[in-house]
Amino acid sequence: MNQKNRVGVVLLNWNGREVLERYLPSVVRYTSQEEVVIYVVDNGSTDDSVAWLQTHYADQVELILFEENHGFAGGYNKALDLIEVEYALLLNSDVEVTENWLNPLIDYMDTHPEVVACQPKIKSWREPDFFEYAGAAGGFIDCLGYPFCRGRLFSTLEKDKGQYDDSLSIFWATGAALCIRLQNFRAVGGFDERFFAHMEEVDLCWRLLARGGKIKCIPQSEVYHYGGATLSDENPRKVYLNFRNNLLMLYKNMPHKELVKVLRYRWFLDYLASFIFLLTGSYKKMKAVWRARKDYQSIRIQFSADRIENLEKTVQENIKERKNYSILVEYYLKRRKHFSEIERN
């Protein structure tokens, strides 16, 4: 390992020239320091991203170029095979960082060797006083495997009033700004490339936790995420990937004693969601849910070996950051719209 580069800040790009032009300057400005190298990984772009980077940032960033689009999971896996650092910080290209954003993350992990990954506080670039959808102040999953965050439940985004400024243990750290020990990333097999995009960081974090690691949100570090620069929430492709990958993640990681019952509930709830999409005129999203369930059934067998390996290597089955309540019940039936309202009851 090159000790001069303890930290690699890794941005993944695909046809994102305009995004890079807007957000990369803050990364370079507030990240250029000793022992840190900034990598931009180009996932086979067909726009002028690479030429623009070579013209404007040849001395500030290192380029890793791929000939095709490997997706979020594959792009990062292949890039992290090529670098040697202690900490890899995976940063979405549409994230604006702030002064001194990196040090709290690295300092915390340096002094807490049991922590294998962490994230900063993620706030909205468009509404800077509010948390952002992708990660907010740290992620959890409920008893049925639905992910949610401190500071964001479904479409409800909380205003940041300092209410989540503690360094809390979490279930998953957002892929928008994920700081991880590279040796642990490799030890659990990295991202599952079959996911292509969406849910892969939750799946990765489940494996890290099950094998004894801890994951934290470090709110002393703060970044601003634009969000939706790849696929918007209204895109049927995103709906498909979220539903399919969530089911695959449960199959890969959930203990035997829970899996059958949870999947029965999910069968009902997924088709209920598709019916709601139909009633609200979102026919394409309804079809996306149906196709997600169909594809899950057809490809699940391909994940059997992963499930066996994950369960065999599990040393921590009862993960306390996996909540024992249903976020659907809390949010829609009990009308608790904020994380703090649920946790204090």
What does the pLDDT read at residue 232? 55
Q: What is the pLDDT of residues 131-151, one digit of tens each?
A: 999 999 999 999 999 999 999
- Measuring CA to CA, how many Å separate 102 from each of 8, 28, 69? 11, 12, 28
* pLDDT, averaged across the chain: 94
CA-wise closest residue to 207 among 228, 192, 217: 192
231 vs 73: which has the higher pLDDT: 73
Spatial contact of 172 and 139, defined as CB atoms under 8 Å apart? yes
In this structure, are strands 36-43 and 7-13 parallel, antiparallel, or unpaired?
A: parallel
Give me the percent of the chain exceeding a pLDDT of 70: 96
**pLDDT on residue 228:** 62
pLDDT tens readout for residues 114-125: 999 999 999 999
Of the pLDDT bands very low, low, confident and very high (cuts 50, 70, 90), residue 196 is confident
- Are residues 225 and 92 in contact, defined by beta-carbon separation less than 8 angstroms? yes
pTM: predicted TM-score of the whole model, two decimal places: 0.95
For the chain, where do the domains classified as CATH 3.90.550.10 start and end? 7-225
Q: Which secondary structure element, helix H or strand E, spans residue 8, and what is its range? A: strand 7-13
Pairing verdict, β 87-91 and 177-181: antiparallel
The residue-averaged pLDDT of 155-173 equals: 96
- pLDDT, tens digit, for every residue of 267-321? 999 999 999 999 999 999 999 999 999 999 999 999 999 999 999 999 998 999 9
Q: Which superfamily is assigned to 7-225 in CATH?
A: Spore Coat Polysaccharide Biosynthesis Protein SpsA; Chain A (3.90.550.10)
pLDDT at 2: 45
